Amino acid sequence: MTRTELFGQIQKKGTYLCIGLDTDIEKMPKHLLGAADPVFEFNKQIIDATSAYCVAYKPNIAFYEALGPKGWESLEKTLAYIPGDIFTIADAKRGDIGNTSSHYAKTFFEYLNFDSITVAPYMGEDSVKPFLCKDKWVILLAHTSNPGSSDFQLIESGDTGRKLYEEVIRKSMKWASPDQLMYVVGATQAEKMESIRALAPEYFFLVPGIGAQGGDLDMVSRYGMNKQCGLLVNSARSIIYASAETDFAKAAAVEARKIQNQMEKYLSAL
């Protein structure tokens, strides 16, 4: 999916919501456990209920890998079920020496056919470039929402005075254009969103941390948007686990619609 196509979907649907399919078999409604493939059945019903309110789905690969071959089968079926006009993100956080990264890229882009993958930049340019395939996206970790993000991301350079996450953004923009590269910027870092947007004015940001993690959608939208929206705001647990009963899909739709309604107001100002 191109940047123009992604922005077109955002405009058409009035939303920049990304729903995280962090499907944990221990948290899903018990009545699904008797299904032939409980994970896929859960995802299928979530997708049916919420696809009108989002422009992206983000399966967290760890939840599927933890189930072994059956988990990979569930992931494949989930991807095949997601409508073709919805952007797909492999939340895999890969990144290794070039030869290894090229095989990760084949796995997620050729075999599984995701639109994008999250990548860790710690090993540098040669570990990232193999993911920069035609018509695919790299979503590079920049300033994340977890408590330990300050351990390394906020270390300042003695030469430039810039923080490590700022150096990551500045340097990686030389590797790829806004048509192929996005950045992960946590919603819990919303107070820094304005300065991060100034660093990368044309790039999309994937923003996790809305909902259960307490991120502020208002601040993220106010300071993170650009002329083409430039945001994919992710919510997972607060939507997919809105109910643990037989009405889980309906409850997920209600929560997704609430966020979509808020986003529609911010988009109207573009």
Active-site residues: which are they? 93
Residue 203 bridge partners (DSSP):
none
* Helical (H) or strand (E) element with 162: none
Report which DSSP code applies to 183. E
Q: What is the DSSP track for the chain?
A: --HHHHHHHHHHHT--EEEEE---TTTS-GGGTTSSSHHHHHHHHHHHHHGGG-SEEEEBHHHHHTTTHHHHHHHHHHHHHS-TTSEEEEEEEE--SHHHHHHHHIIIIIIS--SEEEE--TT-HHHHGGG--TT-EEEEEEE-SSGGGGGTTTPBPTTT--BHHHHHHHHHTTT--TTTEEEEE-GGGGGGHHHHHHHSTTSEEEE--BSTT-B-HHHHHHHH-BTTB-EEEEE-HHHHTS-SSTTHHHHHHHHHHHHHHHHHHHHTT-
